[in-house]
Amino acid sequence: MEQLLSEDGVNRELLVFALGKEEYGIDILKVQEIRGYDAVTSIANAPSFIKGVINLRGNIVPIVDLRVKFNIGNPSYDQFTVVIILNIAQRTLGIVVDGVSDVMTLSTEQLRNAPEFGAALDTAYILGLGTVDDRMIILVDIEKLMTSADMALVETAIA
């Protein structure tokens, strides 16, 4: 929970995206840009949620489809498919989500601890739950998640 607070005690801004009917929030400082889905070059023998790599202004950037990874949402690819490019642990990678809805700051009163049973993802990567009116936003430690071993994005898990 403390990780959501920045150094000067103000709550960080979150980027909220949708996966199926669930809403997830990640630290906006990890987000580099949001772009559409381009043709990817698929990687041989990679897990199905790693769609492949794209050319992002000269950088080779891997693309993960979180919808496939978490088995929620609708993995279809058209001109409306959203890719969030993240900067994590000095790496650049993209995640495919159903849509980006909001940028918001949550106050401490709006934060809840995550219950022990999680959604599709392990509660180890959930920092907490945020409530806005009757919406529930799952706050994800995106860095820890993306560097975890089962994402198979990095050689050995950094976290």
Partner 1 sequence: MTIDMSQFIAVFFDEAAEHLANMESLLLKIDVSAPDPEDLNAIFRAAHSIKGGAATFGFSDLTDVTHVLENLLDRIRKQEIALKAEMVDAFLQSGDVLQSMLGAHRENGDVDQNEIQRVTQMLTRLVADQEAPGQSSEQVLTIVIQAGESFDEQMLLDELANFGEVQDFEPGDIHSAWRYHLKTSASEPQLLDSITFLVAPERLSIETIENREAAFGLFPTTPAPALTVDEGFGFFEPLPNNQVEVNVEEQGYGFFAPITPPTPASEPSTAQIVEIAPVQAARVPNERNADKSSADSSIRVSVEKVDQLLNLVGELVITQSMLAQNALQLDPVLHEKLLSGVAQLERNTRELQESVMSIRMMPISFVFNRYPRLVRDLASKLGKQVELRMIGENTELDKGFIEKLSDPLTHLVRNSLDHGIEMPDVRLSRNKQAQGTLTLKAFHQGGNIVIEVSDDGAGLSRERILSKAKERGMSVSDNMSDNEVWMLIFEAGFSTAAEVTDVSGRGVGMDVVRKNIQAMGGRVEIQSMTGVGSTMSIRLPLTLAILDGMSISASDELYIIPLTFIIESLQPKSDEIKTLAGRGNVINVRGEYLPLIALYDIFNLSAKLKSFEDGLVIILEAEGQKVALFVDDLLGQHQVVVKNLETNYRRVNGVAGATIMGDGHVAFILDVAALVKMAQHVSSSDIAKLAA
| Other C-beta atoms lying within 10 Å of the C-beta of residue 50 | 20
Q: How many CA atoms lie within 13 A of 106 on its CB side?
A: 31
Query: Which residue of 11, 32, 92, 110 would you call a contact of partner 1, by CB under 8 A?
Result: 92
Provide the β-strand partners of residue 87.
92
Q: In what order do the strands lie in the sheet with 59-65?
A: 31-36, 82-88, 91-97, 59-65, 50-56
> Closer to partner 1 at the Cβ: 119 or 151?
151
* Binding flags for partner 1, 22-41, as an x/- string (CB under 8 A): -----------------xxx
63-69-71 Cα angle (round to 5): 135
User: Can you read off the two tokens belonging to residue 32?
Assistant: 């580099």
Residue list 122-141, contact with partner 1 (CB under 8 A): none
* Binding flags for partner 1, 43-72, as an x/- string (CB under 8 A): xxxx-----xxxx-xxxxxx----------
Binding of partner 1 at residue 149 (CB under 8 A)? no
The nearest distance, CB 77 to partner 1, in angstroms, is 16
The nearest distance, CB 35 to partner 1, in angstroms, is 14
